[in-house]
Structure 1
Amino acid sequence: MHIVPGLRVLYFGTPVVLISSRNEDGSANLAPMSSAWWLGQSGMLGLGNSGQTTANLRRERECVLNLPSSTMVGAVDRIALTTGKRDVPEHKLAQGYRYEPEKFALAGLTEQPSELVRAPRVAQCPIQLECRVVSVLPMAEPTPDCTAFQVEVLRAHVDESLVIPGTHHVDPLGWDPLIMKFCEFFGGGRNLHPSRLADGWQLPHRLPALSTPKPR
Structure 2
Amino acid sequence: MFAEKHFHPLSADSPGTHINPGLYGDQRVWTFGFWKGKDGKGCYNTACSGFVQVSKVIPIVEPYDLKTGVPGWMRYSIHQDKNTGNWWITQLMKDAPNEDIGYWPKEIFNLLDNGANMVGVGGVVQASRSGLSPPMGNGNLPNGGRQDSGIFTNIEVLNSNYKQRKMNSFRTENLLDSDKCYGLRIGTVKPFYRTHLGFFFNYGGPGGISCGV
Band the TM-score falls in, shorter-chain normalisation: under 0.3
Q: Which has a greater percent of strand? A: 1
**TM-score of the aligned structures, taking structure 2 as reference length:** 0.25
With the length of structure 1 as denominator, give the TM-score of the two structures.
Answer: 0.25
